[in-house]
Structure 1
Amino acid sequence: MSAVAWIAVVSLSAWVWLLLGQGFFWRTDQRLPDRDEPVRWPSVAVVVPARNEAAVLPASLPSLLAQEYPGDAEVVLVDDCSDDGTGELARALSVRCGGLPLTVVTPGEPEPGWTGKLWALRHGIALARRWKPDFLLLTDADIAHEPDSLYELVRAAGPVSGAGGEGDFDLVSQMARLRVTSTWERLVVPAFVYFFGQLYPFRWVNRRGTRTAAAAGGCVLLRTRAAERAGVPESIRQAVIDDVSLARAVQRSGGRIWLGLADRVDSVRPYPGLRELWRMVSRSAYAQLRHSPLLLAATVAGLLLVYVVPPAAFVTGLTTGDAAAAWAGGAAWVVMAGTYMPMLGYYRQSLWLAPLLPFTAFLYLLMTVDSAVQHHLGRGAAWKGRTYARPEAAPEP
C-alpha cells in the first residue's frame, strides 16, 4: 500500500477506537438523573458573576428570579467592575420582575493571582455563606433557566446530607444549550460541545471512582460543604478553565460529580461571527494544554491525523486511483460524521453538516495555535478588557 493509504488506515483505526473506547462520548443521553423529591428542600444561594452583561441580563436574570423552587433561595449578582450599568440594570429588573430576593455586590478589581470570574465568585460565595445555604448554584450571567431548573438540579443532587448513596452528588453541572442561529454558530458551536465531550466523556465523569473530572461553568450546583472541603474558589483562583478546575478540586477532596447536557438551560449570548467564536475558543485553548509546546505539537498532529487525513486521503485516493487510500479515508470520514450526528440532532441542526466536521476541526486547530501565539506574545487569555499574560492551566490530579 502507499504511504497515504497507510496513514489513512491509522486514522481509521483511531476512529474505531474513539467510537468504542472513549466512553461513547458521541452519545447525547447523559441528562439529569431522575430522583425522588427530598423530604426537606434544601436552601440555595444562586451566585451570578457579571461583567458588562447589560446586553444579556434582560433575557437571563428574570429567569433566575422566577424560579419555582419549594425551598429557600436567594440570588447574588456580583457586578465585576462593569461600565455598562450591569448592576443598576439588575436592580431594576428585580424591582420590575419580582420573584426571588436579589442582592447586588461589587467587589472591586481582582487582587494579583486571581482571574476576574473567580474573584467575583469568591465575593459572591462569601456573602452567600452568611445565610448558610445547603447548596450554591453558580451560573453565568448569559444563562437562562426554565422555571423548574433549580428544582430539577437539587432533586438530581440527592439528599441534603449527601450520605454517599448511589446517585448522591456534591456537584451537578449541565452543559447549557448554546445559541445556534448564525451560519458560523451552526458550523462551530455544536462541534465545541462535541470536542468537549470527546476530551471529557460524560460517562467517565459520572462514573463512581473515576479520575476524569469536568464541569460546565455556566450551570453548576455545588454543595456548600463540598465547596468548603475543596477550598474553592481560593484553591483554583488562577485557573482560566475554571469549570474543569472546580470539578477536579471537588473530586480530589472526595466529592462525587455529575455532568450532562441540558434540556431547559440555555445560553442567550450571541456569537454572530467567526471573530467572536474564535475569541471564545482561543482565550483558553493553550491553557488547556498547560502551555506546553510539546502538547501543542502533539495536539496539532493529532487533529491533522484524526480529522484532516480522512477527507484528504479519500479525495487523493479517488484522483490518483489509490483504492486503499480512498477506502480507508472514506471509511474514517463516515465514522467521524456518524459520531457527530447525535450532537447535531441535539442542537436541531441539519445532519448534512456532519461531513463538514473536518473543516471545523481545522478551524479549531488554527484557534489553538493562535492561542499559543498570543500567550508567547504576552497577551495570554484576554476576556472583557482583562488579560492574563501567564495564567495557570487547570490543576492536574
Structure 2
Amino acid sequence: MTWVSAGSLLAWVWLLLGQGFFWRTDVRLPERRDPERWPSVAVVVPARDEAEMLPVSLLSLLAQDYPGRAEIFLIDDGSSDGTGALARALAAADEACGLPLTVDSPGDPEPGWTGKLWALRHGIALARARTDLDAEYLLLTDADIAHEPDSLRELVSAARSADLDLVSQMARLRVASGWERLIVPAFVYFFAQLYPFRWVNRPGSRTAAAAGGCVLLRRAAAERAGIPESIRHAVIDDVTLARAVQRSGGRIWLGLAERVDSVRPYPGLGELWRMVSRSAYAQLRHNPLLLAGTVGGLAVVYLAPPVALLAGMLTGDPLPAVTGGAAWALMAGTYVPMLRYYRQALWLAPLLPFTAVLYLLMTVDSAVRHYRGRGAAWKGRTYARPSTPR
C-alpha cells in the first residue's frame, strides 16, 4: 500500500505541473478586437426531440446582436415531439427582430452516418446553396445551448483577431440537482485532464479537441478538411472534428465559456449515467486493453490515496497515511478551481475519489453495452463501432 500510494502521489505531482495545467479554469476567449468587416455566418443547429429546449436555446440564437449577416438553419433530425413546428412558431413570433431562420429535415441518415452529423451535413449544404449569404463561418451549436446576445459577435471577433480556423467553447453545463453537483463539474475536469486546453491551443500541438455544443468553424477550413463527410461515422464528433481541422493545417482553440450555457437538465443519476456511458468506450477506441489500463489508472490515481490514508490510520503505519493523504490533498486542490467555476461548495473537492468510482463504473458499463450490441445509444438510435476506417 505504501508503494501504491507513493506512486499515486508522484502521479499527482506530475498532473499538477506537467499536464498542461489542466486544472486551471482561466482559458477563456483570446484577446479580440472588432474586425473592419464582419463576415457572414451560417448557424447550423441539429435538433432531435428538442421541443423542451428550444424556447430558451433557439430564442437566444434569434436574438443575437451580430453586426454582420447571419442566418440560422435548424435541422429537424426525425423528431417526434414537434421540434420543427415549434421552431417555426418561435421564429414567426420573433420575426421583427430575430435572425432569419430556415427549418428543414434531411430524412433518416444513410448507413455510416450518425444522426447529428447527417443533420449537420444537410444544414451546411443548405447554407452553401444560399449564394446571397455566402457564409464565411459556420457556427455549429446544439439545440440545448443558450447563447448570450453577444456570443456570436465575441466568437467571430476572437477567430478573426487570432486568425483561428476553429474556436470552440465548453458550454457551462447545468448544475442544480445533487447528482449534477457531484458529477457535472467532474465531467469537465476529466475532459480537461484528457485534453488540456493549453495544449490544444498551442500552435503545432498534437493535442486536438473541441466542445461540440459551440464550435465556430471557418467554412474554407471545413471544406479543406472534408467536414462533415470525413468524420461521418464519429460518435465523439467534436474531438474528431477538431482533429480533422488540425490535420488539414487549421488552427484550433478550445476554452471554457462565460456566456454560453447548456440548458439541458440531468436531474438524476440515470440521465447522467447514460450521458457519460454512451460514448466512454468509443473514447477508448473500443479497445479492451485501453479499458483495462484506464480502470487500473483510475484505481491507482483516484482510489488509492483515500484507501492508503485509511489503512495507515487503522494500522498505525505513517508512511501510507502520509503519502495517501498528500496525494488526496493534491487531488482535491486541483479540483477546487473547477468547483469555483461552477459556483459550487468547496467541500465537494474531497469527494472526487467517489465521483471517479462512478465514472469508472460508467466506462465499464459503456464497454458492456458495446459488446452486447447496444453500442452508443442516444435518442432511439444505436451506433456500433465502424467496421472499417473511414
1:187–1:333 CA distance, 2 compared to 1 (3 A): same
User: Shift of the alpha carbon at 1:391?
Assistant: 4.4
User: Shift of the alpha carbon at 1:271?
Assistant: 0.1
2:236 counterpart of 1:241: yes
2:167 counterpart of 1:147: no
Moved over 4 A (4+): 391-395
- From 162, 174, 190, the equivalent of 2:185 is 190
Match of 1:238, SS state, is: coil
Q: Is the 8 A contact 1:300 1:365 kept in 2?
A: yes
Q: TM-score, normalised by structure 2?
A: 0.97
Give the Cα separation in 1 of the matches to 2:94 and 2:380.
Answer: 31
CA RMSD of aligned residues (A): 1.1
Give the Cα separation in 1 of the matches to 2:218 and 2:345.
Answer: 39
**Aligned partner of 1:47: which letter?**
V
Deviations 1:330-350 (A, max 9, x none): 000000000000000000000
Partner of 2:201: 206
Give the Cα separation in 2 of the matches to 1:394 and 1:60.
Answer: 35
1:37–1:171 CA distance, 2 compared to 1 (3 A): same
Give the Cα separation in 1 of the matches to 2:388 and 2:151.
Answer: 31
Q: Is the 8 A contact 1:240 1:287 kept in 2?
A: yes
- From 3, 10, 13, the equivalent of 2:7 is 10
Give the Cα separation in 1 of the matches to 2:124 and 2:190.
Answer: 31
2:125 counterpart of 1:126: yes
**Aligned partner of 1:49: which letter?**
P
1:45-124 superposed matches below 5 A: 45-98=42-95, 99-124=98-123
Give the Cα separation in 1 of the matches to 2:388 and 2:362.
Answer: 17
- From 245, 258, 263, the equivalent of 1:263 is 258
Stretches of structure 2 that go unaligned for 5 or more consecutive residues are none
Give the Cα separation in 2 of the matches to 1:74 and 1:85.
Answer: 22
Partner of 1:385: 380
User: Shift of the alpha carbon at 1:63?
Assistant: 0.2
Give the Cα separation in 1 of the matches to 2:252 and 2:388.
Answer: 20
Q: Is the 8 A contact 1:241 1:393 kept in 2?
A: no
Give the Cα separation in 2 of the matches to 1:208 and 1:83.
Answer: 44
- From 327, 341, 348, the equivalent of 1:346 is 341
User: Shift of the alpha carbon at 1:14?
Assistant: 0.3
Give the Cα separation in 1 of the matches to 2:264 and 2:389.
Answer: 24
Match of 2:266, SS state, is: coil
Q: Is the 8 A contact 1:48 1:139 kept in 2?
A: yes
Q: Is the 8 A contact 2:286 2:385 kept in 1?
A: no
1:183–1:394 CA distance, 2 compared to 1 (3 A): farther
Partner of 1:336: 331
Partner of 1:162: none
**Aligned partner of 1:175: which letter?**
M
**Aligned partner of 2:196: which letter?**
P
1:326–1:394 CA distance, 2 compared to 1 (3 A): farther
1:316-331 superposed matches below 5 A: 316-331=311-326
1:392–1:326 CA distance, 2 compared to 1 (3 A): farther
Deviations 1:262-304 (A, max 9, x none): 0000000000000000000000000000000000000000000
Q: TM-score, normalised by structure 1?
A: 0.96
Give the Cα separation in 1 of the matches to 2:266 and 2:167.
Answer: 26
Deviations 1:4-57 (A, max 9, x none): 111100000000000000000000000001212111000000000000000111
Deviations 1:158-194 (A, max 9, x none): 16xxxxxxx2100000000000000000000000000
**Aligned partner of 2:128: which letter?**
R
Partner of 2:366: 371
1:209-224 superposed matches below 5 A: 209-224=204-219
- From 294, 302, 319, the equivalent of 2:297 is 302
Q: Is the 8 A contact 1:230 1:249 kept in 2?
A: yes
**Aligned partner of 1:93: which letter?**
L
Give the Cα separation in 2 of the matches to 1:130 and 1:37.
Answer: 28
**Aligned partner of 1:169: which letter?**
L
User: Shift of the alpha carbon at 1:360?
Assistant: 0.3
Question: Which stretch has the larger CA shift, 382-391 or 203-212?
Answer: 382-391
User: Shift of the alpha carbon at 1:129?
Assistant: 1.1
2:167 counterpart of 1:156: no
**Aligned partner of 2:298: which letter?**
L
2:45 counterpart of 1:43: no
Stretches of structure 1 that go unaligned for 5 or more consecutive residues are 160-166
User: Shift of the alpha carbon at 1:130?
Assistant: 1.8
**Aligned partner of 2:90: which letter?**
L
**Aligned partner of 1:272: which letter?**
P
Q: Is the 8 A contact 1:288 1:394 kept in 2?
A: no
Deviations 1:75-105 (A, max 9, x none): 0000001010000000000011230000001
Q: Is the 8 A contact 2:113 2:232 kept in 1?
A: yes
Q: Is the 8 A contact 1:30 1:260 kept in 2?
A: yes
Q: Is the 8 A contact 1:378 1:390 kept in 2?
A: no
Question: Which stretch has the larger CA shift, 125-134 or 57-66?
Answer: 125-134
Deviations 1:96-155 (A, max 9, x none): 123000000100000000000000000000101123200000000000000000000000
User: Shift of the alpha carbon at 1:392?
Assistant: 7.5
**Aligned partner of 1:118: which letter?**
L
Q: Is the 8 A contact 1:283 1:383 kept in 2?
A: yes
Give the Cα separation in 1 of the matches to 2:229 and 2:32.
Answer: 32
